[in-house]
Amino acid sequence: MTDSLSLAIPCRADEPGLAATLESLYGACRHPQLPPQFMRELVICINGVKQEESCVPLTAVRDFGVRHGVPVEELWIEGDCSPLPLGEGKNEPVSTELPSPSFTALLTERKGKPPAWNTLWRWANGELVLFCDADVRVEKDAVYHLYAKLQQEPHLCLVAAREVPVLQAEGAWWGRLGALPYRFNFGNAGGRLYLMRKDALPGGMPEDLLLEDAWLTVAVGRCRVMKEPHAQVFFLPPATWRDYFAERVRTEGGKLQLQREHQSLLANGPVAQYNWSWFWQGIAFREYPLVVCSLALRLLARLCARIAVARKDFYALYRPFPSTKAWMPTRR
């Protein structure tokens, strides 16, 4: 029970919902059944920052620190995670003797989730690191269930939460289509909320990855990765055709990237295992049109991904999806 925890959040500079994510995550980490002084630090890497004054996530970080009485240390960093001298108008660094937990905001002009993930991975001091996306809501018992599973099964190195889609009032068709696969556990780790041991990886991840959660599943090792269904993290699936199809193309491009550039990691089996008979048994007859449409669009997205990759690099397929940020109004 001596493990300490680092909370790590990679966040885009234009992320509108970080404030709500911080509140739900912080509350989940203060669960009464977690060890005292378990949470050592909270580190957020805000990537793609141009100006501090117009950075909504940074404002959310500062407000959160004031609201909870936790001093925030703000550091500009280079690609190798080295702190840069703070210029005129930037906050002076606070003492390293911060109350537990400490709170650090790392600011970088570099864009991309994998580079931000690597920065957080190098920066984190805890024996355990809890990664959380910046646009989700964390169920109050989720962190406790992740930690309990890791303690109960010491061979595990990564435990992921169950990702629960929240359907919006509008765009129900595309939301239902995007939510369909999340009703089934295919054995791969979800990337929106997961707890992993700091010694699970010798280094960081490739910085051009499209599917960092799929890469983590096979890099850590499928026998050491598990999904905990009692730990839930809520997210918005794409609610428009444009966002849905772009996500499908990115997913198919990410699969292709693993097959071409990280084939050795797939030697012990694929990222996910599909039990098709089990899948069809869990689908109601009235939902068959959704399934047929999903499979057809998946084939089309795979073709588009191959064409796009032939013209550009893999990471060119990455882009944010605006409809996944619109939390109001929603219905679960």
The pLDDT tens digits for 175-227 are: 899 998 898 888 889 999 999 999 998 888 999 999 999 999 999 998 999 99
Instruction: For residue 75, give the 3-state DSSP assignment.
Output: strand
Asked if 253 contacts 311 with a C-beta cutoff of 8 angstroms, the reply is no
CA 221 to chain centre: 18
Q: Give pLDDT tens digits for 22-36.
A: 999 999 998 999 988
Check whether 267 has a pLDDT greater than 90.
no
**CA dist., res. 276 & res. 305, Å (int):** 24
Residue 332 lies in a domain: no
Asked if 265 contacts 215 with a C-beta cutoff of 8 angstroms, the reply is yes
Q: Kindly report the average pLDDT of the chain as a whole number.
A: 86
Which of 83-97, 134-148, 282-296, 318-332 is predicted most confidently?
A: 134-148
The pLDDT value recorded for residue 235 is: 96
Check whether 80 has a pLDDT greater than 70.
no
More confident residue, 202 or 62: 62
Residue 84 lies in a domain: yes
Residue 225 lies in a domain: yes
The pLDDT value recorded for residue 88 is: 33
Residue 236 lies in a domain: yes
Residue 33 lies in a domain: yes
Which residue range is the domain that position 28 belongs to? 5-324
Average the pLDDT over each of 17-26, 55-64, 193-202, 282-291 and give the range with the smallest value: 282-291
The pLDDT value recorded for residue 117 is: 95
Model confidence at 43, pLDDT cuts 50, 70, 90, reads very high
Task: Give me the amino acid identity at 299.
Answer: L
The pLDDT value recorded for residue 3 is: 80
- HEC string for 293-324: HHHHHHHHHHHHHHHHHHHCCHHHHCCCCHHH
Residue 98 lies in a domain: yes
Instruction: For residue 124, give the 3-state DSSP assignment.
Output: coil
The DSSP-derived string for 8-29 is EEEEETT-S-HHHHHHHHHHHH
**CA dist., res. 182 & res. 185, Å (int):** 7
The pLDDT value recorded for residue 140 is: 96
For 139, the enclosing helix (H) or strand (E) is none
Percent of the chain at pLDDT above 70? 90
Instruction: Give me the count of residues in the chain.
Output: 332
Cβ–Cβ contacts within 10 Å for residue 121, how many?
Answer: 21
Distances in whole angstroms, Cα of residue 267 to Cα of each of 168, 208, 216 = 39, 21, 14
How many domains, in total, are found in the chain?
1
The pLDDT value recorded for residue 2 is: 61
Check whether 98 has a pLDDT greater than 90.
no
**CA dist., res. 86 & res. 92, Å (int):** 7
What does the pLDDT average to over 152-156?
A: 94
Residue 108 lies in a domain: yes
Residue 288 lies in a domain: yes
CATH number of the domain that 179 lies in? 3.90.550.10
**CA dist., res. 73 & res. 61, Å (int):** 10
Asked if 306 contacts 255 with a C-beta cutoff of 8 angstroms, the reply is no
Check whether 169 has a pLDDT greater than 70.
no
Q: Give pLDDT tens digits for 317-331.
A: 888 888 898 886 444
